[in-house]
Amino acid sequence: MKTDTQTKFDTIVKEGFTPLLKPLSFKKKALNYYRQLSEVGHIINIQKSSYGNRDHIRFRINIGIFEPRFWSVSHTGKVPDYPTEPICIIRKTINDLRGRKDLWYEVNDTTDEQKLIKEVQEDVQNYILPFFDQLNSVQKIFSTLEKDSKLLGISFDLLIFYGEYKQKEKAQAVYNQLLQKVNPLAKPTLEGYAKKYELNI
């Protein structure tokens, strides 16, 4: 039998997220909402803290931008119908979008669930959905990278993204920077990508 806290949490998910996301074509599976667009997918993941319990649930919202071509570099088979947030090319938390420290939503037997539902809805409407609007196509990801180079950082992910979309000059620049700081154990992998994308080693 569920505790009052667990029932409250279920209500917060059901009333805080679903009414906003279902009309926007998001589909729910467990604690994930996913929307597939023509080029990318948008993921909202509700992550429970491992430090919580039946009477004290802590959770946060994780956000992901799924890009099939990026995914296919390290995976084989059919692109998943319901990708998960860890395999996304762009990953953020609600704290990243709000510019705040690692704050978790708290649910216990004294929580005002309607107040928390309102807070969650405001975060979805004011931060998450506008973020998704900025990144709803591959071209918009490129445009955002031009303005915000920290979106992916200087990373293997950025190298793969540029390489897959034939942005050879940008991929070369990322490779050159990675070469200066890469762990020696990861160097063969880096050089493998360089060969794959026909970069100068």
Residues 28 and 118 in one domain: yes
Residues of the chain with pLDDT under 70: none
Indicate the residue among 85, 106, 136 that finishes a domain: 136
Question: What DSSP character marks residue 80?
Answer: P
CA-CA-CA-CA torsion for 134, 59, 125, 143, nearest 10 degrees? -10
Residues 107 and 181 in one domain: no
pTM above 0.85, yes or no: yes
What domain count does the chain have? Answer: 2
Q: What's the pLDDT at 46?
A: 97
Residues 31 and 130 in one domain: yes
Residues 114 and 15 in one domain: yes
Q: What's the pLDDT at 150?
A: 79
Indicate the residue type of 28.
Answer: K
Residues 165 and 132 in one domain: no
Residues 23 and 94 in one domain: yes
25 within some domain: yes
Full residue range of the structural domain in which residue 176 is found = 152-196
Residues 21 and 104 in one domain: yes
Contact at 8 Å (CB) between 55 and 3? yes
34 within some domain: yes
Indicate the residue among 136, 166, 187 that finishes a domain: 136
147 within some domain: no
143 within some domain: no
Residues 123 and 162 in one domain: no
How far is Cα 95 from Cα 128, in angstroms, rounded to an integer?
A: 11
Residues 96 and 174 in one domain: no
Backbone phi, psi, residue 29, to 5°: -145, 115
